[in-house]
Structure 1
């Protein structure tokens, strides 16, 4: 199978292709188009030419297109889940959950398309503002470049495409090279739903090359990127006056206070740490447990992790499968070995087989080790002890990242203390930091990024506020 580019409402054959392999068994899935400079230019041109039509399209029509896409996804959700599972090595039950979330994201986008609005401004609140009627409206920015990662190849695409189209923008979408088929599938759905040609273009190939071309093109008004801090920083520094939103990952932490029901909490933390092999931006990487319950917590936690089944992502019972590349497996092994050499206690895992890194639990890890202070993006978690809530909060904040954090506690004062002092974009009280529903604001501070996703909040990022003032006493 050869997958061409999607530009201007039609497929375009490129001059070259690259092989796409299943991360689990390394089977060749397809040959994927490799976009050249002219292809990128033409994709931006198509989006630019479609921009006036999208900007003038009535809100209800944009909403209906998004509703249709949600419907197509619902009709073909099993096929879509299997597509995700093959190209991302995501366990099938997790892929199915992603498709269900993607359906909801497009439904939320449809709802938001119908309620984009401004507000009246009381001009006479200031001297000189008498006899004036003023109000604001929100207008689309124009062409938006969206760059998406491999780990949620349908839903994170939806979090950029959905709000952009809801607001009347057009897009050039660059999906991750490992998971392009999901993005092309979504483009087919939008074409079938009646989206104007050129409103959504999908280009694949070298991320750095395509990214540079998108940053240089003045017709692009915004870049929305999910990926690594290094690339995000580069985009921010080289995009001129373009609007930029960045979601750059984390090393998310959870605090476990004394007195909680471990039987209820531990299974949730295991899910938060090991879902999709830990390749989730808000995956739990650091667990800080009160010293009075630490030993009990560790034993119960390890017993729960041992229940996870590793294997083929298309197996209905698989919990853990291959990491996205064999190189990531090697990097993970190096970081774990370094931590053990530095004094960490390896209690479970620490090895791999056929691209699957076994669920790994480290205890009492020096916080200067990479497995603690960097984003490991792997099925590895460390458990450390703390004495006071003040210390626990300081341990969580001792990070260059700040996406989401969680705390389990029966003490309302501890919960509110954490909510106020944790330096993150979202605090989950009595929930794992890996929790996300698709209408909530989502984004981070520090090296975790800037701007917010969540459909309503992304629409605000993707529109321009205009003031209109009318003097009534001429």
Structure 2
């Protein structure tokens, strides 16, 4: 397909998705438990990613390089890398598929999707929508089943040229080993901090922290997992945060007034419950929430959380807002950088010098001023450092990962070559 044809398919897919927003929202909610408020936003985000990919499909181009001696001219040609295997997680069953599929199709790569065994139905519905939008059937495949059986088969298959994976560090490392020698784009989670400095707008900070910690019931790699609060404002901030979090309605995800639904499984909820209890045992104070009802965990705020307790040392996939009190920037940076992760961070301050000091010292892939680590846009690169993975998502950047450069040289205009 020409770039113009790929663009047209992606544009039609975006329009079809927007016209079926309620249908896809209900499907995502039914198989993942994510509340209706959020699944409607997920459909909107997915459509936005498709629109950006449609525009970027027509902007893929190389460059001309006149050699310094004038004898030859080099021209670079971006070409599709080949078959892309996209392995996606359960937490955003539509948008995680779209951020793999849209750049692959924009780049002209055939795509093989392996969605989470916990949430395969949305991926299948989206694949049908892509076919309806004009995607050639031999450009797209979806394989469902247990990852332990399919992962080794697919990642090591000789016809797969590239693997793009989102999931846990342990699984990502297994996939990387199986796909040795292939192009890889791995997004392996995060433990994202929010920094609340003394001059921050505290009511705004509390609203932002509550939203970032509770979105998708806390099951987001870019959600707020640690809140570093300067000691002099910690009491006031924690009171405001507990009020915001206590006001979140947890329950039936199909209701329009529900803010967060259950976790993906009762086993996942048990892990969150245990980590909260362990943090309290280690010295944290449970301010509000934390009760478990099956797979549902009521959103929790903990204060004076020790920085080495498992709740904040590891990535916790649950609606928990842990406050870690610090005495200044040096301590905040040291504790933030002390974990294996470095995905994104948010900084709340009115002092630009303080912000740039933190931004320079934090070992993360992105730092957001006046926003949380959960800020995202299809126009910017997304990815981290350390255990967070390899490469960058974000439509234009993912397209670059999914192309290879061919160089052609020919006699130059100033010599015979």
What band does the TM-score fall into relative to the shorter chain? over 0.9
Tell me the residue number matched to 2:108: 168
SS class of match (1:424): coil
Cα distance in 2 for residues equivalent to 1:272 and 1:121:
46
Distance in 1 (CA, whole Å) between partners of 2:75 and 2:32 is 47
Deviation at 1:100, TM superposition (A): 0.4
Q: CA deviation at 1:78?
A: 0.8
C-alpha contact 2:209 2:321 (8 A) present in aligned 1 = no
Q: 8 Å contact 2:57–2:107 — kept in the other structure? A: yes
Name the structure 2 match of 1:325. 265
Q: 1:451 aligns with which of 391, 397, 408?
A: 391
Aligned CA RMSD, in angstroms, stands at 1.0
- 2:278 corresponds in structure 1 to 338
Q: 2:23 aligns with which of 79, 85, 90?
A: 79
Which of 29, 42, 45 matches 1:101? 45
Equivalent position SS for 1:137: strand
Quote the offset at 1:237 in angstroms: 2.0
Asked whether the 8 Å contact 2:203–2:237 carries over to 1, the reply is no
* Deviation of 1:238 (Å): 2.4
- 1:308 maps to 248
The 3-state SS of whatever aligns with 2:137 is coil
Q: 1:382 aligns with which of 322, 328, 336?
A: 322
TM (norm. structure 1) is 0.86
- Deviation digits for residues 133-165 of structure 1 (CA, Å, limit 9, x no counterpart): 112110001111000011111111111000001
* Partners of 2:190 and 2:388 within 8 A in 1: yes
Matching residue within 322, 334, 338 for 1:394: 334
Q: TM-score, structure 2 length as denominator?
A: 0.97
Tell me what 1:349 maps to.
289
Alignment partner of 1:87: what SS? helix
- Separation in 2, partners of 1:260, 1:226: 33
Cα deviation per residue 1:183-213 (whole Å; 9 max; x = unaligned)? 1111111111221122110010011211100
Q: Which residue does 1:421 correspond to in 2? A: 361
Aligned to 2:161, the other structure's residue is in SS state strand
What's the CA shift for 1:342?
A: 1.5
What is the alpha-carbon distance in structure 2 between the residues aligned to residue 206 and residue 372 of structure 1? 30
Aligned to 2:9: 65
Question: Deviations along 1:337-381, whole A, 9 cap, x unmatched?
Answer: 111112211111222113210111111122221101101110112
Q: Who is 1:11 aligned against?
A: none
User: Tell me, which stretches of 5 or more residues in structure 1 are unaligned?
Assistant: 1-56
Determine helix, strand or coil for the equivalent of 1:343: coil
Q: List 4+ stretches of structure 1 deviating above 2 A.
A: none
How is 1:245-260 mapped onto 2 (pairs within 5 angstroms)? 245-260=185-200
Measured after TM superposition, the shift of residue 215 of structure 1 is 2.1
* Residue aligning to 2:411: 471
Residue of structure 2 in register with 1:412 after alignment: 352
Query: How far apart are the structure 1 equivalents of 2:148 and 2:67?
Result: 48
Name 1:113's counterpart in structure 2: 57
Q: Deviations for 1:45-89, whole angstroms, at most 9, x for unmatched residues?
A: xxxxxxxxxxxx111001101111111101111111111111111
- Secondary structure of the corresponding residue to residue 254 of structure 1: strand
- For 2:156 and 2:330, the matched residues in 1 are separated by 46
